[in-house]
Structure 1
Amino acid sequence: MRFDWADRTTWEPALRGVNGMYLVAPELGSAQAADDIAAFARQAAAAGARRAVLVSFPGTGTPGLEHAVAAARSLGEAGLEAAVLRLRWSQNFSEDFLRDAVLSGDVRLPAGEGAEAFVDAEDIAAVAVTTLTETGHAGQTYELSGPQAMSFADAVAQIARTAGRPATTCGTPRCPPRSTPPSNARTACPRNGSSWLSTCTPRPDPHRRSGLGHR
């Protein structure tokens, strides 16, 4: 079933028989996304949907927060029992753009020593299922984070210990050249001339616009 936030003709077929929705909008934080989500919420409610969970981002000092808040509010205004999940960095290191780097044992990102409380995707899924299948979550906002703040170096070291295989990380311009880039990885070269990234960082696939999860 094709769904595209930018093509409203795909909304009606995707909403047939839907009771609950897990919503991911790649451009959340923009005025356009807020408008699309409000229009979609009204259409979903009219089609018989009852509940929705919107994936959002932390609410402190984040650009576009007012649009994300407006998008969340529009779900309830449309008559849906809606909850918001505000996520920190959700990354399992076993998928998407970090997978090949982890498998190669050489993970490079321009992260420096910054720490993040990484959230396991399975934990996000568990919370989403609960909010979609149980009562009492309408109007709630849940801030999700991992159990502890870790740098990328900490995370990769833990992966190496658990997997029993060596893995290293580098997050500064002093990364030595990589002899063999991760398989199938495209490199991300910033336009400011910081060429160290050209051999360091796999680029993630562009966000797909399909962002509707059925229940």
Structure 2
Amino acid sequence: MSDSLSNKFEELIGLNYQLYNGLFLTLPLDAVEKTGLLLPLLDAACQQGLNDGKKPDVIIEEFFDLHKPHFTPVDKNNFLFKIIQYVERQVVLVDALEDAAYRKMHQVDKLKILQTVVENVESENLGERFAEILKEFGIRVTLTAHPTQFYPGPVLAIINDLTRAIARNDNSEVRNLLQQLGNTPFSRKTKPSPYDEAVLLSWYLGNIFYPVMGQIIDKFAGRYERAVLENQKLMTIGFWPGG
């Protein structure tokens, strides 16, 4: 990552994560044990303990002895499960921040890389050679199993709304959505089948991949129509269970 991109990441994602994560951890999602407030302390204890060469079980027990000495074994297990729930939602927060900052991070409206490639080919009088390459060239995008495929519909809806609220800097709405996220179950009662995953992916295919791929192919076809028509594998999409 270049220094410029690294600085943008820190500005648009790193700093905002600290802001919104601090807000998230103080929400009254677990008023009894205040798990969110203890999460940073557990994180610090784990890092220090591992640096000191301690075993994970020793680190956890020392943490409980210091902060929750009254916990029974059942209480400890419940607390650690709640920690996992918080971390799951922190991952979602990072995803939403990255999506909200994508245009600013990558300047998608300014780069126009594909247009630049085509223009450079023409300016260097390499059109015929480029057309021959297009006849043999192919890109296959394979959609793998991503965690968002397994999120229930209500969670996906919150993630989408959260991304938009972050992009608008609507802190009040972000707080409300983080509250919803904290109270919405992530788990499913049954494991999704490959068919279920395919159904979920169909939205992304119809609304994102197909339109973008069409735009890319149209860009080439405008100047290299014959080469594009002869190559049926210029751009294809695969899905991990079905090839």
TM-score (norm 2): 0.24
Higher strand share: 1
Q: Decide which structure has the larger Cα Rg and report it.
A: 2
Higher helix share: 2
